[in-house]
Amino acid sequence: METHRPITDSRWTECLRLIENNLTQQQFQTWFAPIRSAHFEEEQRELTLCIPSPFVHEYIEAHFVKLLRTVLVRVYGNGIKLKYEVTTDATNGITVDFEATTPSTVSTQPIRTYAVNQAPEPLQQLDSQLKPEYTFENFVEGAANKLPLTVGKAIAQNPKQSTFNPLFIYGGSGVGKTHLVNAIGLRLKELHPEKRVLYVSAHLFQVQFVNAKLQNKINDFISFYQSIDVLIIDDVQEFAGLEKTQLAFFHIFNHLHQNGRQLILTSDRPPVALQGMEDRLLTRFKWGLLAELEHPDVQLRRDILSFKVRRDGLQFSTPVINFIAEHVDKSIRDLEGVVNSLMVYSLVHNCEIDVEVAERVISRTIGMTTPRAVLTIEQILEHTCHFFHLDRSDVLSQSRKASVVLGRQVAMYLAQKHTTLSTTKIGIAIGRRNHATVVHSCQSISQRIDADADFRSRVKELEELLKA
């Protein structure tokens, strides 16, 4: 029995900080904040945590022991011993050494000293390798990502009951696969901190596998992966043609799947299009849920832009946002690139960002397609009038007749897409209109293209004629 304790070891404060980063505020407040003090005995390398009740200890042991162990090894180094002491109400100043005062319960109570040696599995198992900024909060929802996003959130809530196993997310480059699977992993860790979540790219998995093979440690490699609760492998198309890596992954996959652990995979194409992949793996990829992350439509591109512009404290006018959203249509990564370039441009040139500036920066950042440089506005006008059976003079006039307006807008849209002319110049060339009218026209045509399949294929047909 003691009445006095040395002050809390400063390294324990560092441990608490790491623990706090890995838990929700509520978990941390409930289970770690009540730890009254911690003192470290150098010679024995023994850390004693003073806790208010045995229940706290049991709960920590049951739910956070791996986290605790990892953090202790990281901060204090290997081979430290951990001891818990239950301290009574601080008001009477009595501290009870649990082991010393209740020896008979030592064998039945879980409170005792145990050695924190080298964690049984490698340390990195608890470092999930997740990117902290790729959260659900930073992921803008839209029609193109609704299904994978909804399923991802469901899995993060309830990984045990997931019938979506594996969750196989596929989609083109820059559509948000890596971001989404990271967000699932982060939410999972937040809600289920006891789960071992690991994010790994297929490429890194393969490198680790080759290294393990060279060092004769294949068994360690496989058993490490088999100990994961939620395994996220990004870009599995990279396994193509790598038979041995595929075999190792096959064993891991089976083990995890049989034991109800969650697998989340991404690929740049659906399983049917994966060449050089073993059939038995492809079959397994289809066991759970295949969800496509589609190319973002113009609305989602606009929403993402607005979100990023707001987050970065920038000020882009609505026409500028619309202009970018309409012209940068392949990947969200490109959208981000354009926002960054515009930000730099406006700083360097100390200017407001208007549509003209945006256009210049876009053509430099993501390049213009070749046809854009080749076609002239005259060719576009000629083909468009012919295609819609309109008179060129009507299109250039002030006529508000619906068929004429449509032809005029399509011509503007195509000029925007396939020439290097600014919207101002396009406006002048097509009936002396101002650039805002051109921007509006392009916007309404691209919305209609997104929404109306019939219209989309007609415009496509016209574009083919133009390129011929």
3-state secondary structure the chain: CECCCCCCCHHHHHHHHHHHHHCCHHHHHHHHCCCCEEEEECCCCEEEEEECCHHHHHHHHHHCHHHHHHHHHHHHCCCEEEEEEECCCHHHCCECCHHHHCHHHCCCCCCCCEEECCCCCCHHHHCCCCCCCCCCCCCCCCHHHHHHHHHHHHHHHCHHHCCCCCEEEECCCCCCHHHHHHHHHHHHHHHCCCCCEEEEEHHHHHHHHHHHHHCCCHHHHHHHHHCCCEEEEECHHHHCCCHHHHHHHHHHHHHHHHCCCEEEEEECCCHHHCCCCCHHHHHHHCCCEEEECCCCCHHHHHHHHHHHHHHCCCCCCHHHHHHHHHHCCCCHHHHHHHHHHHHHHHHHHCCCCCHHHHHHHHHHHCCCCHHHHHCCHHHHHHHHHHHCCCCHHHHHCCCCCHHHHHHHHHHHHHHHHHCCCCHHHHHHHCCCCCHHHHHHHHHHHHHHHHHCHHHHHHHHHHHHHHHC
Min separation Cβ 141 and ligand ADP, Å: 7
333 binds, among ligand ADP, Mg ion, none (CB under 5 to 8 A by kind): ligand ADP
- Compose the 168-207 pattern: x for residues touching ligand ADP by CB under 6 A, - for all others: ---x-xxxxxxx----------------------------
20 binds, among ligand ADP, Mg ion, none (CB under 5 to 8 A by kind): none
Looking at 116-124, 159-167, 330-338, 417-425, which segment touches ligand ADP (CB under 6 A)?
330-338
140 binds, among ligand ADP, Mg ion, none (CB under 5 to 8 A by kind): ligand ADP
Q: Is the dihedral of CA 352, 358, 360, 365 positive or negative?
A: positive
Which of 295, 333, 440, 448 lies at the binding interface for ligand ADP (CB under 6 A)? 333
The answer to the question of residue 302 lying near ligand ADP (CB under 6 A) is no
Min separation Cβ 453 and ligand ADP, Å: 24
The answer to the question of residue 339 lying near ligand ADP (CB under 6 A) is no
d(CA 183, CA 185): 5
d(CA 468, CA 466): 6
Looking at 88-96, 201-209, 319-327, 329-337, which segment touches ligand ADP (CB under 6 A)?
329-337
74 binds, among ligand ADP, Mg ion, none (CB under 5 to 8 A by kind): none
Min separation Cβ 235 and Mg ion, Å: 6
Question: Are residues 283 and 257 in contact, defined by beta-carbon separation less than 8 angstroms?
Answer: no
Question: Are residues 105 and 12 in contact, defined by beta-carbon separation less than 8 angstroms?
Answer: no
Looking at 93-101, 255-263, 331-339, 359-367, which segment touches ligand ADP (CB under 6 A)?
331-339
304 binds, among Mg ion, ligand ADP, none (CB under 5 to 8 A by kind): ligand ADP
Which one, 138 or 254, has the nearer CB to ligand ADP?
138
The answer to the question of residue 248 lying near ligand ADP (CB under 6 A) is no
Which one, 85 or 235, has the nearer CB to Mg ion?
235
Which one, 177 or 195, has the nearer CB to Mg ion?
177
Which one, 54 or 172, has the nearer CB to ligand ADP?
172
Residues in binding contact with ligand ADP, number by CB under 6 A:
16
Which one, 138 or 161, has the nearer CB to ligand ADP?
138
Which one, 343 or 405, has the nearer CB to ligand ADP?
343
Which one, 252 or 335, has the nearer CB to ligand ADP?
335
The answer to the question of residue 178 lying near Mg ion (CB under 5 A) is yes
Min separation Cβ 146 and ligand ADP, Å: 10
Question: Are residues 330 and 295 in contact, defined by beta-carbon separation less than 8 angstroms?
Answer: yes
199 binds, among ligand ADP, Mg ion, none (CB under 5 to 8 A by kind): none
- Compose the 148-177 pattern: x for residues touching Mg ion by CB under 5 A, - for all others: -----------------------------x
Which of 15, 23, 68, 140 lies at the binding interface for ligand ADP (CB under 6 A)? 140
Min separation Cβ 189 and ligand ADP, Å: 18
The answer to the question of residue 304 lying near ligand ADP (CB under 6 A) is yes
CB count within 10 Å of CB 433 equals: 20
Residues within the interface to Mg ion (CB under 5 A): 177-178
Residues within the interface to ligand ADP (CB under 6 A): 138-140, 145, 171, 173-179, 304, 332-333, 336
